[in-house]
Amino acid sequence: MNKKKVFRSRISVLLVGFIFAIFIPLIFIAMFQEKTYQGMYIIGGILLFIILLSAGMRYVISEGKLFLKFFWLIPIGSADIAKIIAAERSYNPLSSPAFSLKRLHITFARGRFWLISPVREKEFIKALKEINPHIYVNVPCKKGMWRILDWDI
């Protein structure tokens, strides 16, 4: 019997802060130059989008497959876990279904890869290895002053 396991995406406070540090000043500058205050709707929309995006991303392991789901229901991708070659630490800023820069680089056969950021990484990797024990894992668990509450600053 294959049990379904669900992992939510990690949310990086630093990434959210970076997004706001770029967009909010640009919107305020445009608002004051044009003397229009409709930018507040844009700021609210960006905030709502970030909350929905971060709260809705899930990684589901079921029936020997890894599924990416958005808003808990909408499937955006699936892959056979038996075809995973490696799971390694990555800080690659490419756009991906991960709301953190602390990510896992999941490499599949034929060079395909995903950048994801599950909250419970060790448990996630353990669940993958239960299905495919041949996955190469290189996810160092670093400790130090700049790693606060599992955030990498």
Of these ranges, 6-10, 30-34, 55-59, 95-99, the one predicted with the greatest mean pLDDT is 6-10
**Cα 124 from Cα 119, distance rounded (Å):** 8
Q: What CATH code is carried by the domain that includes residue 131? A: 2.30.29.30
Strand order across the beta sheet in which 74-80 lies: 5-8, 58-62, 65-70, 74-80
Question: Rounded mean pLDDT of the chain?
Answer: 79
pLDDT tier for residue 22 given thresholds of 50, 70 and 90: confident
**Cα 96 from Cα 69, distance rounded (Å):** 13
- Count of domains observed in the chain: 1
Q: 83 or 22: whose pLDDT is higher? A: 83
pLDDT reading at 54 higher than 80: no
Within 13 Å of residue 131, how many CA atoms lie on the same side as its CB? 23
pLDDT reading at 151 higher than 60: no
pLDDT tier for residue 127 given thresholds of 50, 70 and 90: very high
43-57, 86-100, 131-145: range with lowest mean pLDDT: 43-57
User: How high is the pLDDT of residue 150?
Assistant: 55
Give percent of the chain above pLDDT 70: 78
User: How high is the pLDDT of residue 8?
Assistant: 85
- Residues near 14 by beta carbon (within 8 Å), at least 6 away in sequence: 101, 151, 153
- Residues near 5 by beta carbon (within 8 Å), at least 6 away in sequence: 60, 61, 62, 127
Domain that holds residue 113: 5-152
